[in-house]
Amino acid sequence: MRSDEYPEGLESLERELALLKRFYALWKAGMLYPGDHPMWRHACRQFLEAFTRLQGSRSGEFVLRIVGDEFYLEDTLLVRESILYYSLLQDLKKAGIGGVAVSPSVGPTDLAALVSAVREGEVLRASEDPDAFLRERNIHGIRLEKPGEWKEERGRGGDRTRLTEEYRNAVAVMGEISRQVEEGRRIRVDKARRVVSSLLERIKENRTAVLGLTSLKSHDDYTCYHSINVLILSLSLGTLLSLDRPALVALGMGALLHDLGKITVPREILQKKGPLTEGEWSIIRSHPVKGADILLAQPGIHPLSVAVAMEHHAHYDMGGYPKIRGKERPSLFSRIVEMADVYDAMTTTRPYQRARTPEQALRILLKDSGFVFDPALAPMFVAMMGIYPAGTLVRLSDGRWGVVSEGAVVEPRYPVVKVIADENGPLTRPFLLDLGGDVARERGLEVAEVLLPEEAGVDLEGFLDQEAP
């Protein structure tokens, strides 16, 4: 990826990720070798040198946290690193550690003492004071957090009812903006930005729960729901790419407003069931340029957001529309939004098409990567959604039905499912079942089939609203 595509700030995150890589190398060396071994000394020196260099561009601690099976660097979710450095994550979890904060005053003996305590199987007990644990072992320059401590402090991640309220508010704002465009008025850019910011916060708190909302579809209000879904999918992928906040907001604004040009296309053409005439096609193909014109007329829209409206059908190989001269690839944000746009459109029933299951849609993204979609981004998108994205309606191998509640990163074939019905019909008290858990695995329970909610007659919105007991 080219650095000129990003606003400032990304570079420092790249350096922190490089530091995390060194920390992982140090950890691995420490788990294998004693504190005076040359391999350990080398890994330790490399980490400390990188840490000192980093102090030039920022100050304070290097903070690595664990929530569930995922690493966070400060509050940035690291999906790739959560997989790559899974053994470090497991070591820390086993030792009862939910977060490690290393300060610039740390020395090789402090790091060696921490790693050797974990190597020897010592555990920070839930009742124990982390500072006392460190003091007893004469470890300075390091702070430990307990599992769940950070999440609890942040507090609001699991509140699905609040999330669905925010989603509906976002749909309402989008409806308002569409009317403003129809009437040729200025759009409320400030309101759009607030929608982007608040969904971004929710995604940082609990990406899986927010992604689950994208299974909400509407026949009557397709454009609004679709825009919010594209926003959520794009921002989620943006956070995986560790883009910084200004970049994410620019990406989000582009994603939310990418299709405003469609408002200029007559509804009969958009909803036509039969084949389109060449004239009708050319009207449809004009919507990216019209959308970019609408955004250019608004004050305070980032040029990269305008580029998204212009390029969201351009394709990775520039074989889409409109034809843009002198550019080898669409901008990064446009490549993200095109994928989110197509995924959400494919998984929604439209007058001219039956919805595909999430699984089928993800296969198509992979199949068309390198042509329509960015070959680096498509596998990341698939990994982000999991085989069974949250909100997928499934039939289990024992005949019960459920809605996928959380995508499992480590074992995507075995998600957590909210069981909603059995052979006697809907359950009065749906319950969560972890297909990766011991009980389910012993019984050989797995997903037997993915179902489309409308064909199965299930109102997913009702189930997503419901708090799990």
- The binding site for Fe ion (CB under 5 A) comprises 259
Which residue of this chain has its Cβ atom nearest to Fe ion in the complex?
259
Evaluate the omega torsion of the peptide bond into residue 322 and state whether it is cis, within 30 degrees of 0: yes
C-beta of 22: minimal distance to Fe ion in Å?
43
List Cα–Cα distances, 446 to 160, 399, 420, 421, in angstroms: 25, 10, 15, 15
C-beta of 303: minimal distance to Fe ion in Å?
19
Instruction: Give 30 or 254: the residue with its C-beta nearer to Fe ion.
Output: 254
C-beta of 232: minimal distance to Fe ion in Å?
17
> 243 and 251 in contact (C-beta within 8 Å)?
yes
C-beta of 381: minimal distance to Fe ion in Å?
18
At residue 350, φ and ψ (nearest 5 deg) are: -125, 165
CA dist 129 and 145 (Å) reads 10
Instruction: Give 140 or 285: the residue with its C-beta nearer to Fe ion.
Output: 285
Instruction: Give 259 or 374: the residue with its C-beta nearer to Fe ion.
Output: 259
Instruction: Give 284 or 380: the residue with its C-beta nearer to Fe ion.
Output: 284
Hey, is 182 helix, strand or coil? Answer: helix
List Cα–Cα distances, 373 to 232, 287, 288, 349, in angstroms: 18, 20, 17, 22
> 402 and 463 in contact (C-beta within 8 Å)?
no
> 424 and 442 in contact (C-beta within 8 Å)?
no
Could you tell me the two tokens for 450?
């993915």
Question: Residue 399: left if φ>0, alpha if ψ -120 to 50, beta else—which one?
Answer: left
At residue 394, φ and ψ (nearest 5 deg) are: -130, 155
C-beta of 327: minimal distance to Fe ion in Å?
18
In the numeric block, the tokens 């007893």 are attached to 136
C-beta of 105: minimal distance to Fe ion in Å?
53
CA dist 103 and 142 (Å) reads 6
Instruction: Give 260 or 445: the residue with its C-beta nearer to Fe ion.
Output: 260
CA dist 357 and 393 (Å) reads 9
Element (H, E) at 32: helix 10-32
C-beta of 345: minimal distance to Fe ion in Å?
9
Rg (Cα) of the chain, in Å, rounded?
24
C-beta of 341: minimal distance to Fe ion in Å?
6
Instruction: Give 227 or 236: the residue with its C-beta nearer to Fe ion.
Output: 227
Instruction: Give 178 or 242: the residue with its C-beta nearer to Fe ion.
Output: 178
Instruction: Give 345 or 421: the residue with its C-beta nearer to Fe ion.
Output: 345
Hey, is 66 helix, strand or coil? Answer: strand
Instruction: Give 320 or 407: the residue with its C-beta nearer to Fe ion.
Output: 320
CA dist 24 and 219 (Å) reads 48
CA dist 172 and 224 (Å) reads 8
C-beta of 367: minimal distance to Fe ion in Å?
21
Q: Which of 292, 199, 305 is nearest to 247 (CA)?
A: 305
Instruction: Give 111 or 310: the residue with its C-beta nearer to Fe ion.
Output: 310
Instruction: Give 291 or 391: the residue with its C-beta nearer to Fe ion.
Output: 291
C-beta of 324: minimal distance to Fe ion in Å?
15
C-beta of 269: minimal distance to Fe ion in Å?
13
Burial classification of residue 33, based on how many CB atoms lie within 10 Å of its CB (0-12 exposed, 13-18 middle, 19 or more buried): middle
CA dist 386 and 447 (Å) reads 13
